[in-house]
Amino acid sequence: MSDKAVAVIGAGPAGLFASRELANNGVEVFLFNRDIKPGGLAEYGIYPDKHRLKASLRNIYFAILENQRIHYFGNLHIGNHRDITLQQIKELGFNAILVTAGAQQVKRTGLEGEDLKGIYHAWEVVSNYNLLPPYSQRSYPIGKKVVIVGVGNVMTDVARFLITKLRVDEVTAIARRGPAEVKFHQTEFAEIATNLDIQDFERELDCVSPLMRSLGQDPEQARAFFEKACENCKETGSDTRLRLLFLKAPIRFVGNENNWVSKLVVVENTLVYKNRNIKPVPLSSKDILKVDTVILALGSSVDSQLGLPTAGYKFNMSPVPSYPINNHSHEVFDPGRKENIEGIFVAGWSRLASYGLVGISGRDGVSGARAVQQYIIDNGKQCTVSVKQCREKILSLKNTIVEFPQLLRLMEVEKERALKMGLEEYKFSTNQEMLTAIDLI
């Protein structure tokens, strides 16, 4: 066996590509994953109807896990007050730890009324429709008039779900900035463009055009972007009215007598150049939108319970890394000790805090693995534990840890079910069902 062993925390795209990079360089990889299944948001975030994309990613990920140097431990949650702490992982004697646990916390708005019923974070809704336990077991009642706050690709996914699956009456996406700053891709918007209320959109565009021109933006270019999406639009089979409202930011949620959200108060924004970037600045005028449900699609933040210092939505990344890769830091700075935390690296959405598609995350995982490799070569220490000992210690933590052979069995059982039921795909929605299917409980 190799004399180097690394713990990788999180088996999403970043953790899987990092594991492959390390294993191909002779390192034993212990890959720990909170979910039973690998894939992270590629499994539980990407829209369920993207069957081909999801299936091809799954094939790639399972091929990576075939590597004899990669030891997969699913259903193991790492962090404070969880199955095992980061410190305890460290004490197992690895040469280094790479954290690729994604960005697992929702961003709160801090606005009055945020905890009213009927206000959800997109993360919850996405995890629910993608059948990620425990969100898959919770209920998120959604009314007929829905506002989504945010205009990224997650907004288009959630709107697609509301339009095609729930067929709500109205979906309104609100943006703090203008049409030139939307973050979604044209191809993603094409999935819902059939439902866009064109006249309403034209009115919005006319309203914001003078401001856009004053900033040197071309409203016609923005119009062309949306027209192209509409040309390539898909049939949704739904009458849902889709609206896009620009230059509006939520400032307060108002509830009815049952504590359900009923109104969203928004402030009108203008845009100004600040340090060569376009920034929204609130004006004094306000507007009230009647709503049944609000979904906040504002991105996510890293996990503050993992055991690493955070700064805002991110881990407290070191500005002066000892092992920079492509000028990026994969190291975390401890503000208490005023030094980089030795032997722990971060990559993927754990570093980028919910930025980028699977390709970017996978590549960032590889960069993180390269930083780890440089560190372990420099550091020169031998691993203090054998694969056998380490595996035994981990398996003694709880008896429902899922290893690769059981994972293969689980996928087989799900495939058999799909075949029997004539479905493209079948997915168990609870850990209980998955563990029962592979005889772990």
Ligand X SMILES: Cc1cc2nc3c(=O)[nH]c(=O)nc-3n(C[C@H](O)[C@H](O)[C@H](O)COP(=O)(O)OP(=O)(O)OC[C@H]3O[C@@H](n4cnc5c(N)ncnc54)[C@H](O)[C@@H]3O)c2cc1C
- CA atoms of 123 and 266, how far apart (whole Å): 22
Print the SS3 string covering 216-267: CCCHHHHHHHHHHHHHCCCCCCCCCEEEEECCEEEEEEEECCCCEEEEEEEE
- Interaction between residue 125 and ligand X (CB under 6 A): no
**Cβ distance to ligand X smaller for residue 122 or 247:** 122
Q: Cβ closer to ligand X: 57 or 247?
A: 57
Q: Which two tokens stand for residue 184?
A: 């979604």
CB of 276 vs ligand X, minimal distance in Å: 27
Of 22, 42, 65, 271, which one interacts with ligand X (CB under 6 A)?
42
Closer Cβ to ligand X, 247 or 438, answer by number: 438
- C-beta closer to ligand X: residue 153 or 270: 153
**79 class by beta-carbon count within 10 Å (0-12 exposed, 13-18 middle, 19+ buried):** buried
Q: What distances in angstroms separate CA 12 from CA 330, 349, 358, one per listed residue?
A: 17, 9, 9
Q: How far apart are CB 15 and ligand X at their closest, in Å?
A: 5
**Residue 40 beta carbon to ligand X: minimum distance, rounded to whole angstroms:** 2
- Candidates 193, 296, 358, 376; binder of ligand X (CB under 6 A) is 358
State which residue, 64 or 267, has the beta carbon closest to ligand X. 64
Tell which one of 78, 97, 291, 434 touches ligand X (CB under 6 A): 78
Q: Which residues contact 37 (CB under 8 A, 6 or more apart)?
A: 43, 74, 407, 410, 434
Shorter beta-carbon distance to ligand X: residue 86 or 168: 86
Chain centroid, CA 119 distance in Å: 19
Residue 89: half-sphere exposure toward Cβ, Cα within 13 Å: 30
For ligand X, the closer of residues 50 and 381 by Cβ is: 50
Q: Give the pair of three-digit tokens for residue 440.
A: 């772990």
By CB under 6 A, how many residues form the interface with ligand X? 35
**Residue whose structure tokens are 């092992």:** 323
205 binds ligand X (CB under 6 A): no
75 lies in the site for ligand X, by CB under 6 A: no
Q: Which two tokens stand for residue 413?
A: 């059982």
Contact string 81-100 vs ligand X (x = CB under 6 A): -------------------x
Q: Which of 5, 7, 12, 180 binds ligand X (CB under 6 A)?
A: 12
299 binds ligand X (CB under 6 A): no
DSSP for 12-47 reads: SHHHHHHHHHHHHTT-EEEEEESSSSS-THHHHTS-
Instruction: Kindly tell me which residue out of 55, 288, 311, 357 binds ligand X, with binding defined by CB under 6 A.
Output: 357
Q: How far is the CB of 265 from ligand X (least distance, A)?
A: 27
Q: Is 306 in the site for ligand X (CB under 6 A)?
A: yes
Q: How far is the CB of 381 from ligand X (least distance, A)?
A: 24
Q: How many C-beta atoms lie closer than 10 Å to residue 273's C-beta?
A: 10
Separation CA 398–CA 436 (nearest Å): 15
Stretch that binds ligand X, among 71-79, 195-203, 228-236, 330-338 (CB under 6 A): 71-79
Q: Cβ closer to ligand X: 50 or 290?
A: 50
As a whole number of angstroms, the distance between CA 162 and CA 242 comes to 10
Question: Is 356 a residue that touches ligand X (CB under 6 A)?
Answer: yes
Binding range to ligand X, per CB under 6 A, among 29-37, 174-182, 229-237, 430-438: 29-37
Contact 8, 19 (CB under 8 A): yes
Q: Give the nearest distance from C-beta 280 to ligand X in angstroms.
A: 23
Query: Is the CB of 118 or the CB of 150 nearer to ligand X?
Result: 150
Containing 121, the helix (H) or strand (E) segment is: strand 119-121
Please pick, from the candidates 5, 7, 154, 438, the single residue that binds ligand X as defined by CB under 6 A: 154
> Do the bridges between strand 28-33 and strand 261-274 make them parallel or antiparallel, or are there none, so unpaired?
unpaired
Is residue 48 a contact residue for ligand X (CB under 6 A)?
Answer: no
Regarding 126 and contact with ligand X (CB under 6 A), the answer is: yes
DSSP 25: T
The answer to the question of residue 41 lying near ligand X (CB under 6 A) is yes
Stretch that binds ligand X, among 37-45, 63-71, 88-96, 282-290 (CB under 6 A): 37-45
Contact 208, 246 (CB under 8 A): yes
CA–CA distance, 155 with 142 (Å, rounded to integer) = 15
Give me the half-sphere count of Cα atoms (radius 13 Å) on the Cβ side of residue 411. 16
Q: Which residues contribute to the site for ligand X (CB under 6 A)? A: 9-15, 32-35, 40-42, 45-46, 50, 77-79, 100-102, 104, 126, 154, 157, 303, 306, 348-349, 356-358, 361
